[in-house]
Structure 1
Amino acid sequence: MDKIGIVKPCGFGDESTSDVVLCLRNCEGRPEFFYSHSFTLVSKSKFFADWFSCPDFGKCVEIHCTELNYDHHLPGEITKSCIQYLEAVPWEHREEEQIIKAVSKLGPVAMPVISRIKPVDLTATKNVFVSAVRFATSTGESCPPFGDELKISAQEQIEYMLGEDEDMPLVMADDEVKSVVRTGLSRIFSTFEKQLSSLVLESDIASDTAEANILQCVSDLEWMCSILPKMELMKDFVSSWAGISGGILGILADKKLESAMWGLKVKLIEVSGRALEAVGYGNVILSAPIRVQLLKSWLPYIREMKPLLDSKGTEDTSFPHKMDEDLCQSIEGAIISLVLALPSNDQADILADWMEADQVSYPDLSEAFEVWCYRTKSANRRLAEGLRRVDNTTVSLE
């Protein structure tokens, strides 16, 4: 207030004029501070009016909550009061990024504040993202005069938005957005299965058109593998891939494909590697039977294809289709992690098959075998010790 009694405007986060600090503290203890003004809080919220009416409470309001879901853990009145306060006070432009970052953690309840900051942008971002997903997952649909250029542009735009756009956490949490992405993924899978099945019916399986069509489908699946983890939807991909793996490998075993489509075979191994990594490193949680099914489907095929591709590369140095060192290492590491996370009996079955196979150098599961032996020996020792204790107890009781 100045000398003639006029109240000067004060903005959110104005530390120089604030007399109250709101501290939202998450489960890890990290605080989010809001510099505030008691007269505004009291006038806008009964909760804060009651708080500041007690002289023992002081000028720092500390609220414990979780980062992932403030709205669920905060008392409803406190959340509502914080939002009402943020809606009421004026902000400087430079403060908006800080406010968006803080209130976006509050979930849907924060929409009034975000709408005030960016009244159009959030809806526009969602609409653009949904449209881009529909174009990016289109299959066999021409978009003259752009052709595939629009589809590629849409895929690049989605990757950019997922990495750079500050509104994306809220957009990705939207049920409609997730539904559109799942629909697009289902459409790509359906087209991929049809294109793959048609290969064995082609009179000229080596035609450029047939190979280009199926490789485009696999490329789309590979692209989905890069964006789905950012949206926490990778489980949808891995579950579908595990479900159709038997059919894929059945078609690849057809004699027509025995000496053809090497590029397709390598690409399918790459996509399978993404699925194996997601499960092996715990980013996607699936039941043990599905994990065993996924591993038992692709492990023999990868083990068979690696030396075959190596030999063709040796015979012809210009042969372009091979499993490079990075791919081999990432797949081997994922398989070892996946094996070690399986029930002991399933581990034993897989390791026994590996040792009985002609090709044991890749993937090298000796590390998994050593760990399994150690765990089994330790478990047997603990079991024996437990049985001896039971026997001793029985004898003493008699």
Structure 2
Amino acid sequence: MPILARIQPVDARATKNVLVSAIRFATSIGGSCPPFDDNLRTSAQEQVEYMLAADADTPLITSDDEVKSVVKMGLSKICSSFEKELSSLLLESDLTSETAEDKIRQCLLDIEWMSNILPKMDLMKEFVTNWTEISDKILGVIEDKKLDSSMWALKLKVIELTGKVLDAVGYGSVILPAPCRVKLLKTWLPYIRKMKPLLELKSSKEVEFPHKMDEDLCGNIEEAIVQLVLALPSNDQAEILTDWMKTEQVKYPDLSEAFEVWCFRTKSAKRRLLEGGLDRVGNATLSL
């Protein structure tokens, strides 16, 4: 009987409690114990990923309100920590300090982990919303003159995370109102456009410089931006495409496809409008 008891199916409530505890541990929320060691938190994060991927009852557990509430709380805490550590960079007298960079790096790894588990819980919109809300503050720091020639790993990781946001919104897994999508593009498109050639130039001058946007990252971001632009209202598309054609970095991201589609749609709409107008005039003449 003791052996049979050990192989009984695990109660869903017990599984939920374990998952909630693991998420709290992984995001360092709650409890009166000292701050968790980074290695232990990383281990907890791996266990959460495993539970979400391997448990057949996961859909039932992740739809639970308590689980979702804890995940949202953890995401909010991680984003707040990142925002706080990022802002403190501008107060640092020595930007080469490993301590400051390590804290930022850990925050970004935590955010990246959240971006990987949230789609499995149908909560990716939470990530997109949080990232969008802090985007201006992020750019306000990393584009400061003090960071012009440093923190390249930070800058690249920020682009990678932004790519996930653009992908989620561009392909419709997260639905945002048109004004929010326009703001997202206007916020990040100029930065991505500026950073790609800078990282390539840095890489060409320094053989061991590891921070470069690889082909997959560039391609995914470009495709997501094209899809995002195509889903915008026509006037917003026109504004973004006009800005794109005025810049020197017109090759990346290449919005030629979006421009061609916009031209075709505009011509078709104009033709339908004219045809509709002529039909109305013709009908009016006949009725007279």
TM band (smaller chain): over 0.9
Partner of 1:300: 190
Paired with 1:221 and 1:147, the residues of 2 have a C-alpha distance of 17
**Structure with bigger gyration radius:** 1
- CA gap of 1:179–1:142, structure 2 versus 1, over 3 A, is closer
Paired with 2:212 and 2:144, the residues of 1 have a C-alpha distance of 21
Does residue 1:127 correspond to 2:127, yes or no?
no
Partner of 2:64: 174
Structure 1 segments, 4+ long, off by >6 Å, are 141-146
Amino acid at match of 1:327: L
- Judge conservation of contact 2:25–2:36 (CA < 8 Å) in 1: no
Aligned-pair identity (%): 64
- CA gap of 1:392–1:130, structure 2 versus 1, over 3 A, is same
2:173 match: secondary structure: coil
Does residue 1:196 correspond to 2:83, yes or no?
no
Shift of 1:215: 1.2
- CA gap of 1:142–1:209, structure 2 versus 1, over 3 A, is farther
- Judge conservation of contact 1:336–1:365 (CA < 8 Å) in 2: yes
Paired with 1:245 and 1:397, the residues of 2 have a C-alpha distance of 59
Amino acid at match of 1:258: D
- CA gap of 1:387–1:240, structure 2 versus 1, over 3 A, is same
- Encode CA deviations 1:301-344: one digit per residue, 9 max, x unaligned: 00000000000100111101111111111111110111101111
Shift of 1:397: 2.1
TM-score using structure 1 length: 0.68
Shift of 1:295: 0.8
Which of 266, 277, 285 is 2:167 aligned to?
277
Larger fraction in strand: 1
Partner of 2:73: 183
Shift of 1:123: 1.5
Partner of 1:246: 136
Partner of 1:373: 263
Shift of 1:144: 7.1
Does residue 1:222 correspond to 2:112, yes or no?
yes
Matched positions, count = 281
Paired with 1:138 and 1:254, the residues of 2 have a C-alpha distance of 30
Partner of 1:104: none
Paired with 2:182 and 2:234, the residues of 1 have a C-alpha distance of 12
Partner of 2:54: 164
* CA RMSD across the alignment: 1.8
Which of 145, 152, 155 is 2:45 aligned to?
155
Paired with 1:138 and 1:397, the residues of 2 have a C-alpha distance of 76
Does residue 1:260 correspond to 2:150, yes or no?
yes
Partner of 1:287: 177
- Encode CA deviations 1:145-168: one digit per residue, 9 max, x unaligned: 972221011111111111111121
- Judge conservation of contact 2:230–2:258 (CA < 8 Å) in 1: yes
Q: Which has the higher contact order (CA 8 A, sep 6+)?
A: 2
Paired with 2:144 and 2:153, the residues of 1 have a C-alpha distance of 16
